[in-house]
A and B are shown apart, each in its own frame.
Chain A
Amino acid sequence: AQSVAQPEDQVNVAEGNPLTVKCTYSVSGNPYLFWYVQYPNRGLQFLLKYITGDNLVKGSYGFEAEFNKSQTSFHLKKPSALVSDSALYFCATYYGNNRLAFGKGNQVVVIP
């Protein structure tokens, strides 16, 4: 069962513009949320996580994510996108007995 949802298949953004990749979750109790990035023919790389504390989480490569409990969302953001940010992005959460579940992924295309 999916515990996170990524509603968009692909996000296109012009270089220099703000980038947002959406994620919503459905987990009972306090969620533990993660974002990963995958470049072509590579494994997944960890970007950032929310466990507790501040709703705005800062991560690698200038990315940040905002945890919103009322909207059950954990959107990934970057103020100014780079062409090199073009990749596949995954939202993830733990559920059940230490299972780590991923969304279907968002392809981000940054247009020069």
Chain B
Amino acid sequence: DAGITQSPRHKVTETGTPVTLRCHQTENHRYMYWYRQDPGHGLRLIHYSYGVKDTDKGEVSDGYSVSRSKTEDFLLTLESATSSQTSVYFCAIRGELNTEAFFGQGTRLTVV
């Protein structure tokens, strides 16, 4: 498996609280992605990064922010969690253009 670790693996949080998910890679890959997976919707891109401090929005970015201060870490923050953000979140990494992406094991987030 590619060197990609997500933390935490499971989290339960209350509505209105901030939450930060971490994606850590040891592959020195340039591109990193955050997705959420929901039944009937497949995987939807939240944000992605194409280098340190270089990020861009995906298709479902509202309510989420990201930061990448170093190559190996890509953080996803829910500033004020809502029940609609209950989901499984996946991080992915990719090397050069048009190569395949590798995925982490996912974080199951429940907002109550």
Judge: A and B partners, yes or no.
Answer: yes
List the interface of chain A (C-beta within 8 A of B): 1, 6, 32, 34, 36, 42-46, 49, 51, 90, 94, 97-105
Cα of A100 to Cα of B34 in the assembled complex, Å: 10
- The number of chain B residues touching the other chain, given as a range, is 20 to 34
Complex Cα spacing A98 to B42, Å = 19
Cα–Cα distance between A39 and B3 once the two chains are bound (Å): 19
Contacts of A49 in B (CB 8 A): 100
Query: Is B33 positioned at the interface, with any CB of A under 8 Å from its CB?
Result: yes
Interface residues of B in 77-105 (CB under 8 A from A): 90, 92, 94, 97-98, 100-105
Contact A98 B50 (CB under 8 A): yes
Q: Hey, which chain B residues are within 8 Å of A45, CB to CB?
A: 103
> What's the least CB distance linking B50 to chain A, in Å?
6
B residues within 8 Å of A by Cβ? 31, 33, 35, 40-45, 48, 50, 56, 58-59, 90, 92, 94, 97-98, 100-106
A98→B97 contact, CB < 8 A: yes
Contact A100 B102 (CB under 8 A): no
- Residue in contact with B42 in the complex, picked from A46, A94, A99, A103, CB distance below 8 Å: A103
From B59, B100, B101, A1 is in contact (CB under 8 Å) with: B59
